Amino acid sequence: MNTKERIFHSVLFEAIALIFVITAATVFTDAGAKSATGLAVGLSLIAMCWNYLYNLGFDRVFGYNRIERSFKMRIGHGLGFELGMVFTTLPLMMWVLQLDFITVFIMDIGVVIFFLVYAILYNWAYDLIRQRIISNRAAVSTAPLR
């Protein structure tokens, strides 16, 4: 993926995730909609930066052929990403939600489980759709003119 596509991939992922995070933060915490939205946007910005850097490094180490990645590799990819997110987001969540470490850590584990599943499904679907688009473009560009 080039830089433009990596940014698109990340922004689309976070836009969909924002819907889930804002809803969950509003429903499951005492944070109002304004605080929940601010927290979600802050976490999303952190995640987008981390997503770009993490995936760039992951591709360099494990190869650029994303369609051939096994389910096991996708789980490892998701776990590595989420582990990095836990370390960076715990302090922000504690501050915004005004909750102690243990409470936020337990909440964050729930978020990690959700995002692990979401990330695996999103990336798998994205890779399959991307492959189809690339294949269709190649078929159209090599089709004989009439």
d(CA 104, CA 92): 10
Q: Which two tokens stand for residue 31?
A: 């944070």
d(CA 91, CA 105): 10
Confidence category of residue 122, pLDDT binned at 50, 70, 90: very high
User: Quick one: pLDDT at residue 101?
Assistant: 94
Rg of the chain's alpha carbons, rounded to an integer? 18
d(CA 128, CA 33): 35
User: Quick one: pLDDT at residue 102?
Assistant: 94
Confidence category of residue 145, pLDDT binned at 50, 70, 90: low
Average confidence score pLDDT of the chain: 84
The pLDDT of 6-10, averaged and rounded, is 86
Q: Does the pLDDT at position 66 exceed 80? A: no
pLDDT tens digits, residue range 11-56? 898 888 888 878 877 787 776 777 778 878 888 888 888 888 898 8
